[in-house]
Every structure is written in structure tokens, then in C-alpha cells.
Amino acid sequence: MRFLLIISLLFVASCGNNPTTNAHTTFDYMLALEADEKKLLKKVVIATVNYSKRSPSYLRNRGYKTDKRVVGYLKENGFEVLSGNQFDTVWSRGIEVYGDYDDPYSAKFRRDRFESILADSLKVLKQEHGVDAVIFTDLMPRTVTFTSNTPHVTAWDGVKRRLQVRGDKRIPRSFSWAHPFHAVSVNITIFHADNRLVFSSVGGIEVIDNLDMRSGSPKVKRNKSILSDQDLLMEGVALAFHPFITMHDYPASR
């Protein structure tokens, strides 16, 4: 029993991944909104579709975790967030008019159709529900590599994360630190109700692969619980919204 406890503690220690920002990798955000105009954006709605191509399957069914945190963050900062399926209803009408724009089988994305649906949806959401802006929250896959020196870290989209190692076996010197690991970021894109792109940025969240050493031979494996660490998720969301919503400890001066 004591042996199992020791192993458990070793695993927890190796998986510790406290949120840490990185000034050298912050995303080059776009903000086209005056301060006075921003004050007029009071009621927003979270889009249930991506602004870009759909996320990979291993991220797609976890988007609700990001949206839940985004909604909380917006409310904490004084925004009213429209709840319910109003966006889905309006968006479906647009698809009926213009046709589907994202074919998962051919990987073809019809941007012209998407923009037509978006323009109509923004107009209807403003007229029928008083929405001032629509916010897209795309989960974006990233590929990262870790440093060979201890502790093994990687940095992307404003964050720095440690390697998560499963097991207590030592990583062999022959392991190639050029090996790619999967990570995830969140892309926040905001459209004004008058169909203007007013903000876009990206914040890194977490590495979603670990290095499994339990067999003694290093194997890169997918984490079972993706986007479950609320601290990492919150940090990524805050980075992605800055400076539309000011992140008080933002890692770089602009």
C-alpha cells in the first residue's frame, strides 16, 4: 500500500503543470475597436460553430468546457451573455438559404457561404435578440517540442508548460527531443453586429500528450482528461481575450 502511495505521488509530481505565461510567444492580436465603442458592446452570444475549419475530433467534443469558462469570464467582466439556442436557430436558417459550408468528408470549407450566413445571422440576432456581438471560440491544435534540459518545457501562444511524465522510469538519453507533442490553444474571434471583425487573438492552454515511461521505453500518448485543468484553461482564455478584456498579468507590454 505504501509502495502504491509513493508511485502515485511520483506521478502527481511529474504531471504538475502550474500555469505560466511566456512573453516571447504571445500571439499578435488584432483589435479594431475604440474604447468608447467597446462600452456599447453589452450583450453577446457565443457561437456554437468554428470561425475556421472544425476542430479535430479529439477536441470537438470538449469545446463546451472552453465555452463554459468563456461565459463565466465574460460575465465576470460585465457582459451579458445570451443563453439558449438562439444562435443555433438563426445559423440553421442561414445554412438552409446558402447551403452547408464545411464538408467533413472532403475537408472543403466554403468561406463565401460562411460569410453570407454570418452576415445574415448577425443582422437577425441584433434585430430579434438585441445582440451586440458574436464571439467564436475555436479550439486550435498546435504541435510543440520540449527542451532537452531539465525541467523539460515548451512555450507557445503566450504560455509555458512542463512535460507530463507517467511512471517513475528515467527518460533515456537517446530520446529525441525533436519529437512532436500535441497541444491546444483557443482562438477568440469577435464580430460586431454590423458585421465587422473587431477582435481576434489566441491563447495557449495545455499540452494534451504525455510521455509514458511506465514500460521503461518512452511512448507519447494522448491524455485522457483534456481541458480539465481549470487554471490552465482560465489562463488560456484570459490570454486570448487580451486586450479586449485586459489581463492584469499579461506577459508582454504592447
- Mean pLDDT for 160-178 is 94
Average pLDDT score, the chain: 91
Domain ranges of the chain: 2-241
Q: Are 31 and 243 in contact (CB under 8 A)?
A: yes
Single pTM value for the model: 0.90
Helix (H) or strand (E) holding 209: strand 209-212
- Rounded distance between C-alpha atoms, residue 139 and residue 205, angstroms: 10
pLDDT (tens digit, 9 = 90+) per residue, 232-245? 999 999 999 999 99
Q: Would you say residue 228 has pLDDT above 60?
A: yes
pLDDT at 86: 95
Gyration radius of the chain over CA positions: 21
Residues 6+ apart with CB under 8 A from 243: 29, 31, 250, 254
- Rounded distance between C-alpha atoms, residue 173 and residue 170, angstroms: 9
Helix (H) or strand (E) holding 95: helix 86-98
**Distant-in-sequence contacts of 112-117, Cβ < 8 A, 24+ apart:** 117/91
